[in-house]
Amino acid sequence: MKISKRAQSIKPSSTLIIDAKAKTLKEQGIDIINFGVGEPDFDTPQSIKNAAINAINSGFTKYCPVSGTLEIKNAIIKKLKRDNNLVYAPEQVMISNGAKHSLYNLFQSIINDGDEVIVPAPYWVSYPDMIVLAGGDPIIVQTTDKTNFKATPKAIEKVLTKKTKAIIINSPSNPTGITYSQEELSAIADVCIKHKIFIISDDIYEKLVYDNFNFTSIAQVSNQAKELTIIINGVSKAYAMTGWRIGYASGPKDIISAMSKIQSQSTSSACSISIKAAVEALNGSQKCVKNMKKEFKKRRDYIITRLSSIKGVTCRKPEGAFYVFPNIKELLGKTFDGKTINTDLEFADYLLNCAKVAVVPGMAFGAEGYIRLSYATSIENIKLGMDRFETALNKSIS
């Protein structure tokens, strides 16, 4: 029996593989510092948990409409107006089982065989494979830390063809934490408007920005941009609700309708209890977000200071999310603890085996010579992890 070509064409998520390996080692009693997974270590705020408990106790445990209840749609509409000055109608909003599911529904809804989607690299690991699953071709636009990991209008226009269907903009970015300014987004939007291509705006880290940076969604830059943009967002990162699995999309009515139709034949509605929790997250006090963001900034500043002091490692300071993406190219080709390390994958394996520190190799994000560390863990873990990192690099460097 053979599996489908579709299944053979994609790779499993590298970040989830690293996380699973780290957790397996922990279960074996090995002390692992896990910088691998992008998951806040904070507990879900109590008010949000209470909303879920109330939903259970009140019997709100049945199927919901496929695209979500009117209550949560209105909460999202209110949020988009409050935070982004964007106006949407209920039929332009739908809820899925996480932002990842929203993206999957979107790709299935807009991509035909052979369509091309522009993906700036470094990229979130799942973008290319989800495009391939929909029959499309991911077209990678490579960036580096020397260009602040940002795709320029010129680089985008260079890869445009008659087959180009969409571009993905992820700001703040996973894995780099970079953010695009309103001016930069406006310039990219002009290219998309000129060539009439969809803009997929992955805003999942929207609320996690630092140093007084003002977040802008590309849908905000003009009415023409908004008409081409599908916003993807959710409650997982900002409210420490990764396991609740609530994401949402907002955009043109016909695309949202198609996404809902796709979802109706796969998962149907999102979890009713999680929907009630998400309503509270969106409508309730935002103090929890401010508190978490304050702690994330403290961790970011600390880990950047430590990384910047390590010979052979350079790392730009991210403006958002909870990742750092250091350049380790100077360390490749050197020998550590008797073993020559030639790739970022080998470097990640070395750190896990020698230092008991889990990181994700840059090649998983389309950027060889880098590693990603998530600082969504306690400051104590970050200190210990960086101590181990430095100790591992001091073992017979040649």
For residues 298 and 300, give the distance between their C-alpha atoms in angstroms, rounded to a whole number.
5
Using one digit for the tens of pLDDT, what is the confidence trace for 180-232?
999 999 999 999 999 999 999 999 999 999 999 999 999 999 999 999 999 99
Give the angle 82-276-85 at the CA atoms, nearest 5°: 10
**Three-state SS for 144?**
coil
Contacts 24+ apart (CB under 8 A), 252-258: 252/92, 252/227, 253/89, 253/91, 253/92, 255/106, 255/109, 255/110, 255/230, 256/67, 256/91, 256/92, 256/93, 256/94, 257/91, 258/109, 258/110
* pLDDT beyond 60 at 257: yes
User: Average model confidence (pLDDT) for the chain?
Assistant: 95
* Element spanning 219, H or E: none
Q: What's the rounded mean pLDDT across residues 60-66? A: 98
397 — pLDDT class (breaks 50, 70, 90)? low
**Three-state SS for 118?**
strand
In this structure, of 21-30, 73-82, 277-286, the range with the lowest mean pLDDT score is 21-30
1 — pLDDT class (breaks 50, 70, 90)? low
Q: Is the dihedral of CA 328, 329, 330, 333 positive or negative?
A: positive
Q: Tell how many helices (H) and how many strands (E) occur in the chain.
A: 14, 14
For residues 366 and 347, give the distance between their C-alpha atoms in angstroms, rounded to a whole number.
16
Using one digit for the tens of pLDDT, what is the confidence trace for 333-389?
999 988 899 999 999 999 998 999 999 999 999 999 999 999 999 999 999 999 999
Using one digit for the tens of pLDDT, what is the confidence trace for 71-91?
999 999 999 999 999 999 999
Using one digit for the tens of pLDDT, what is the confidence trace for 311-323?
999 999 999 999 9
Domains with residue ranges and CATH for the chain: 5-43+288-393 (3.90.1150.10), 46-283 (3.40.640.10)
Tell me what percent of the residues of the chain surpass a pLDDT of 70.
Answer: 98
Burial 258-293 (b: 16+ CB within 10 A, else e): bbbebbeeebebbbbbbbbbbbbbbebebebbeebb
Q: What's the rounded mean pLDDT across residues 59-79? A: 98
Beta strands in the chain (DSSP E): 33-34, 93-96, 116-121, 137-142, 164-170, 198-202, 229-234, 247-250, 323-324, 334-336, 339-341, 357-358, 360-361, 371-374
Q: Sort 122 into a burial class: Cβ within 10 Å, 0-12 / 13-18 / 19+.
A: buried
For residues 193 and 157, give the distance between their C-alpha atoms in angstroms, rounded to a whole number.
12
DSSP structural state of residue 370: B
